[in-house]
Structure 1
């Protein structure tokens, strides 16, 4: 019988599909662990980074390279902790939050995580659309519309397997890296000035705003959810040596992948500094403007072409990780599993709406500002992802000897404090300047209320684990599904099935469906054979339909009923009309059936959208058990 079971595995379709326990020698032993960090790294070089890096380079030259370096070091530590959580506890960050925090807090954290993913997806949409516009001349609004089509990409990659998906991403990263390496060769930056950019300087005004955008674009909150889940695609030995080996090799994987992302970000900023800042074009804030000026200022038509190709590759690679992160967040927080294609379409629609609004009402000139703003939104969510992560990997009761040490913990909290401080300063400055303007009292009250809510949520999220640890753990929270339960024998007794409904479509395998139904009830049950006639006449006239196909269906159901009666079974035939799902549900309820048996067509993905998903729709509308027979 089909049940609504909840699988607690993160990314269950690819969970532990790559076996690292098989003995291998040399580099092949390490290679088995490599891959997750590359999928994570594409989020560190998505189109949102381009906007912040271009603005930082064109306005301040190389002075913000140290922010990129700081962000990369922060990312290495935080992604390492996320991977550690997934390796040791076999939990992703969303699942761990669900275990730790009250329902209200979890729901609010879920909303914030979804907001971060939507902001990231917005950057992907705009980046792809702008890249297509630059390379092919396609209007941006049409490019935004076309990006809906890449929702099907992940489904194809999933069918190929996790290794093929990782290879696809690595190819795109290589395209981006090669493009910017070539661009830097053309740009010929002054290396002495570049090195000076690694020296920290005071931040204020626009520099602070762009720096926060860089941090938000580099250390993305959804990447922490993603990494803690992706490492679970590797099957590892559960003993001490196996876990230590997995942590070690994932650290190497993260170092290589994230340093590659740092190279791309630094290359964009250095390119902007070398070409625009040094030539007096300090107002270059748009990707389109940068593209147009590359050829005349670098003296090569290849430079802008590579720039556009890299932008498209960046947006396309990011869309895969955005989809996976959305799936992890929704399943981890809500235990809600929906059609992945539908999930992706919803996320993409949420992203394209603000893009459409900006293009239609303000024109394409404000798209880059929207890109930077999306990265600031990401940065504002960071504290709500970093602080729970630090709590989880510091917990010796749950992490055991694999909990992070005191030095790492201090550095992690310093990063969290820095991020929270920078974000708080930005929000405070923005709210203060707005509140000083006259009028708009209701909006000001709403802003104050929302800001207060954020502060309260932040305090609860930060101190709840500490208070919980001080006053003792609720051991029931150790499991996603609540406290462990013992089976009660008295509650395991099932009443005999007296009425069994059988939904038939008169296919070649009706015998298999009927045989499975007869096995459930034997000769003590009554069997209701159901067939839904969906001819135009039946849909319009219902039971009054008298067309040839309807009469043929009635004769077929009567034939089945008579054959079962001859075998000694009590059976009755029922014909439904119009809507297949509603009629099956109605007939099952009308005759008070104890069980419904029906067949599965074994079609998946897009075929479900074409032919319909009868099984799921019927199952969700019934309270009785449903037995699905694969034909």
Structure 2
């Protein structure tokens, strides 16, 4: 057991990052609205996540640099280099701000079930005070830098909630033939945003940057790549199984419009009965706080690498980035918009931004001057380009749908 724990690498953190409020919310709604019919989209997301995160891990181990540092080093033309850096930073800022709003809203979703209505009226404005509570908690933990013990304990709660969904999925005794049929791809226009949401909640763009930065702390030589791959594959498959269980448990919920944590918790009622909403509320709060810490931190690491800042986590520049992302998250989650809607928007925003980051990653992974014999094989390039093509297609379809619906 000690050896197994010692070998746990960054893959577990990647999984913990995407098993958050967004995953629980989007997967439950996918199950409630469309039954098992979007299991294929989630399977596609898991495969895409493994392929892209393996590339990020390989880049980090071989070069001993993060993705943002590598991107900056590959361009000599200053105009082109800073244009691309601007695109990357903009994408990360937009994506992480949306994701942070979703994280905080997820924590609020959990708190409001136990504490009641999370809004107060100030001078004609409706203010979500629970968003401020979570924002202040995340700010304090990030500022003092002593958040690892709390984060690990919260991750345990998140994993506990996820395992509860796996048990619930088994207890509901789903029709196996219908479940298997759900893995057959079917594109329908009314499902397009949900498909993008499922991809956005599984393949989180900032995780590609975070993974490349974390692996170099654990593995120092290319000879250790098999360990990094094994860690990545096992962790992501585990997270994928949990996500599928949430969809299956959600499919057992009949004829409701998901509005709050109590509605989401109906998928756990076969296991926990009337206590289900409290189990889910605790898990959502834990997932929200954990992700509210990691999302701004990841954005700060990306900007630090792009700008070449030398200071550590307590430098003014580093802190200014995560403070800005955290502030945006608190503001957007306090505007009186329903938490469910904010979380769904965050996942769709991530899904739309994914092609930009994935495109940079696939390009970098073909730079022999950088990776030598560890560049992508033709099979890896084929899979990477297929993923890129699918995400671009889905993004364009969603934009077209919005135009048509206007």
TM-score band, normalised by shorter chain? 0.7 to 0.9
2:226 corresponds in structure 1 to 248
For residues 181 and 294 of structure 1, what CA distance do their matches in structure 2 show? Answer: 10
1:264 aligns with 2:242: yes
- Displacement after TM superposition at 1:46 (Å): 1.7
Q: Equivalences for 1:217-616 in 2 at 5 Å? A: 217-234=201-218, 236=220, 242-245=221-224, 247-276=225-254, 281=255, 283-288=256-261, 290-291=263-264, 293=266, 300-336=273-309, 338-339=315-316, 340-357=318-335, 359=336, 366-434=338-406
1:136 aligns with 2:136: no
- Displacement after TM superposition at 1:86 (Å): 0.7
Query: Kindly tell me: are residues 298 and 33 of structure 1, through their superposed partners in 2, closer, same or farther at Cα, counting changes over 3 Å?
Result: closer
For residues 217 and 206 of structure 2, what CA distance do their matches in structure 1 show? Answer: 18
- Displacement after TM superposition at 1:325 (Å): 0.9
1:582 corresponds in structure 2 to none
1:95 aligns with 2:69: yes
Contact 2:107 2:288 in 1 (8 A): yes
Contact 1:129 1:144 in 2 (8 A): yes
Query: Kindly tell me: are residues 295 and 386 of structure 1, through their superposed partners in 2, closer, same or farther at Cα, counting changes over 3 Å?
Result: closer
For residues 129 and 169 of structure 1, what CA distance do their matches in structure 2 show? Answer: 15
- Displacement after TM superposition at 1:395 (Å): 1.6
Q: What SS is found at the alignment partner of 1:394?
A: coil
Stretches of structure 2 lacking an aligned partner (at least 5 in a row): 76-80, 120-127
How many matched pairs?
387
For residues 212 and 298 of structure 1, what CA distance do their matches in structure 2 show? Answer: 30
1:592 corresponds in structure 2 to none
More helix by share: 2
Q: What SS is found at the alignment partner of 1:404?
A: coil
TM-score relative to the length of structure 2: 0.87
For residues 151 and 116 of structure 2, what CA distance do their matches in structure 1 show? Answer: 31
- Displacement after TM superposition at 1:403 (Å): 1.1
Contact 1:39 1:166 in 2 (8 A): no
For residues 259 and 289 of structure 1, what CA distance do their matches in structure 2 show? Answer: 28
- Displacement after TM superposition at 1:319 (Å): 2.4
Q: What SS is found at the alignment partner of 1:176?
A: helix
TM-score relative to the length of structure 1: 0.57
2:106 corresponds in structure 1 to 127
For residues 225 and 388 of structure 1, what CA distance do their matches in structure 2 show? Answer: 11
Query: Kindly tell me: are residues 392 and 94 of structure 1, through their superposed partners in 2, closer, same or farther at Cα, counting changes over 3 Å?
Result: same
2:179 corresponds in structure 1 to 194
For residues 294 and 50 of structure 1, what CA distance do their matches in structure 2 show? Answer: 10
Contact 2:168 2:270 in 1 (8 A): no
- Displacement after TM superposition at 1:350 (Å): 0.5
Query: Kindly tell me: are residues 142 and 388 of structure 1, through their superposed partners in 2, closer, same or farther at Cα, counting changes over 3 Å?
Result: same
Query: Kindly tell me: are residues 393 and 346 of structure 1, through their superposed partners in 2, closer, same or farther at Cα, counting changes over 3 Å?
Result: same
1:83 corresponds in structure 2 to 57
Picking from 147, 150, 160, the partner of 2:138 is 150
For residues 268 and 211 of structure 2, what CA distance do their matches in structure 1 show? Answer: 38
1:113 corresponds in structure 2 to 92
- Displacement after TM superposition at 1:187 (Å): 3.2
State the Cα RMSD in Å.
Answer: 2.6
For residues 348 and 73 of structure 1, what CA distance do their matches in structure 2 show? Answer: 30
- Displacement after TM superposition at 1:33 (Å): 4.7
- Displacement after TM superposition at 1:341 (Å): 4.7
Contact 1:128 1:312 in 2 (8 A): yes
For residues 69 and 209 of structure 2, what CA distance do their matches in structure 1 show? Answer: 9
Greater RCO structure (CA 8 Å; 6+ sep): 2
Query: Kindly tell me: are residues 184 and 296 of structure 1, through their superposed partners in 2, closer, same or farther at Cα, counting changes over 3 Å?
Result: closer
Contact 1:62 1:194 in 2 (8 A): yes
2:39 corresponds in structure 1 to 65
Picking from 35, 44, 48, the partner of 1:74 is 48
Query: Kindly tell me: are residues 409 and 48 of structure 1, through their superposed partners in 2, closer, same or farther at Cα, counting changes over 3 Å?
Result: same
